[in-house]
């Protein structure tokens, strides 16, 4: 048998052997971005599931923008599995004002971690993307196959392009080196440890803060950006973490996987729900001079449902849990 044929057969055998590979409870797991919304939820889910050998480092210990520091960290720790949740994230304001920061930092962080995972023989890596990778006017609900079929939403194209590059990098390493790097595309997220800064947060945490402060100050009205007409899908972050663990234990392949509820809600309806949970009784005023962003954005979750996973937390319950955390801990 020729060398090329042997190589192909060994590669196929390696890929097949990993298809159903699951994480041992004592495996060393690295969660990059463990203090953020997603990373902290993944750490909670891992601990609840009985995993204890979890490696986390903050920026003072390892600067993920520093290639040599990341290389030294991987060489020292040798993690078996990697959850790549580290990223620079923000809402419309932050994305519009700091596009260079968003594209540079995200490209740099993910490139360092993905490459060092390959160099140090990581068994599996999970890359967290975002549903903003899809075209602005993609057919709804958005299937995974919609990637790169049309123009992006201009207000966050720098972030989206960085995430698309991460997906393509994972696929390229799988193809060339036989790695098992999977990519997931969550919809809009919210929950404990979210960013509630009104200048850089996403819509749901911003609404929570606005309506809470409106109630505390007895404000006659709360201002909400845009027309209220755009439709969005929201996923409680602990559900995302549950999906990530599920996929790390059951899924292999280069096909990207949408994660979400598959259910949309208008920004107007969302504002009304948050107002109700926060106990605010004033008026809701929509500032139509502000941008709406993408008209509709809902993930098609047919594929992940076919893999056996479903979201558990409905929107009103998730808002209540997030609001309780905000009042108690923020």
Q: Would you name the residues annotated as active-site residues? A: 159
Reported in sequence order, the residue ranges of 63-194 that DSSP labels E, i.e. its strands, are 81-84, 124-128, 181-186, 188-190
Distance of CA 300 to the CA centre of its chain: 16
* Alpha-carbon span 322 to 194, nearest angstrom: 9
Residue 78 host element (H or E): none
Looking at residue 179, the DSSP 8-state letter turns out to be -
Residues 38, 189 contacting (CB under 8 angstroms):
yes
Residues 270, 204 contacting (CB under 8 angstroms):
yes
Residues 166, 129 contacting (CB under 8 angstroms):
yes
Reported in sequence order, the residue ranges of the chain that DSSP labels E, i.e. its strands, are 29-32, 54-55, 81-84, 124-128, 181-186, 188-190, 221-225, 231-236, 257-259, 264-266, 283-287, 296-297
Residues 248, 293 contacting (CB under 8 angstroms):
no
């Amino acid at each position: 048998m020729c060398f090329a044929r042997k190589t192909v057969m060994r590669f196929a055998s390696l890929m097949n052997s990993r298809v159903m590979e699951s994480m041992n409870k004592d495996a060393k797991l690295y969660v990059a971005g463990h203090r953020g919304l997603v990373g902290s939820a993944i750490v909670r889910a891992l601990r609840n599931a009985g995993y204890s050998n979890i490696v986390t480092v903050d920026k003072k210990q390892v600067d993920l923008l520093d290639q040599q520091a990341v290389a030294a960290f991987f060489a020292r720790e040798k993690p078996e599995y990697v959850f790549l949740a580290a990223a620079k994230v923000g809402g419309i304001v932050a994305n519009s004002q700091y596009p260079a920061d968003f594209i540079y930092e995200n490209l740099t962080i993910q490139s360092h971690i993905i490459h060092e995972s390959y160099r140090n023989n990581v068994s599996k890596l999970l890359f967290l993307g975002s549903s903003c990778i899809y075209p602005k006017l993609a057919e709804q609900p958005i299937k995974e196959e919609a990637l790169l079929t049309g123009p992006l939403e201009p207000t966050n194209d720098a972030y989206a392009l960085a995430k698309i590059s991460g997906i393509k990098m994972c696929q390229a390493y799988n193809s060339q080196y036989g790695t098992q790097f999977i990519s997931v595309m969550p919809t809009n997220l919210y929950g404990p440890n979210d960013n509630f800064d009104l200048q850089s947060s996403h819509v749901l945490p911003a609404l929570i803060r606005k309506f809470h402060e409106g109630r505390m100050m007895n404000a006659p009205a709360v201002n909400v950006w845009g027309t209220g007409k755009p439709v969005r899908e929201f996923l409680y972050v602990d559900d995302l973490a549950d999906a990530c663990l599920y996929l790390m234990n059951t899924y292999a392949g280069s096909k990207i996987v949408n994660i979400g509820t598959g259910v949309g809600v208008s920004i107007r309806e969302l504002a009304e729900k948050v107002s109700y949970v926060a106990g605010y009784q004033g008026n809701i005023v929509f500032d139509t001079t502000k941008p709406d962003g993408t008209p509709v954005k809902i993930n098609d979750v047919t594929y992940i449902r076919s893999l056996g996973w479903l979201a558990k937390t409905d929107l009103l319950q998730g808002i209540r849990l997030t609001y309780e955390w905000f009042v108690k801990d923020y």
